[in-house]
Amino acid sequence: MESKMTEPLLENELASLPKSQHRPEVPSTTITLGTAALPVRDHFLWSLFNFAYCNFCCLGFLALVFSVKARDQKALGDIYSANHYGSTSKALNLAATILSVLMFVIVFGLLVAGVINIHPK
């Protein structure tokens, strides 16, 4: 047995067929896919930690302000500004963390060396 491939019928040929042989129209669904944007990092938790524990020269507070700005711009849909504020927040968080840890290490080193004395004589 040979299998025949059916070719699509033209409109005039379709009209000549009885209604029972017409194929029912199937509704089509169109899906629009947007470009997947990278998620905007606002570094809010890191900023909150630096604000509470490592607020060297108010850098933790400034990082928290820029984190909130980044989150607000992200909610408004302005991805460019959100990325800008997020990167500023990251830089301020990094500076606050490094300077706070450095200050802790220096003070601890001076205590161990005996330069700073916490017990009164």
C-alpha to C-alpha distance for 5 and 58, rounded to whole angstroms: 76
Instruction: With CA atoms as reference, report the closest residue to 101 among 61, 54, 49, 43.
Output: 54
Q: Supply the pLDDT for residue 29.
A: 78
Alpha helices in the chain (DSSP H): 11-16, 44-53, 59-76, 79-113
Say which amino acid occupies 73: Q
Q: Supply the pLDDT for residue 74.
A: 92
C-alpha to C-alpha distance for 90 and 43, rounded to whole angstroms: 6
- Residues in the chain, pLDDT under 50: none
As a dihedral over the C-alpha atoms of residue 8, residue 11, residue 15, residue 19, rounded to 10 degrees, the angle is 50
Q: Supply the pLDDT for residue 36.
A: 57
Q: Where are the domains of the chain?
A: 40-113
Q: Supply the pLDDT for residue 116.
A: 84
C-alpha to C-alpha distance for 43 and 83, rounded to whole angstroms: 11
Q: Supply the pLDDT for residue 35.
A: 60
Q: Supply the pLDDT for residue 114.
A: 86
C-alpha to C-alpha distance for 57 and 89, rounded to whole angstroms: 15
Structure tokens at 106: 């220096």
pTM above 0.75, yes or no: no
Residues constituting the chain = 121
Each residue of 38-67: pLDDT tens digit?
A: 688 999 999 999 999 988 899 999 999 999
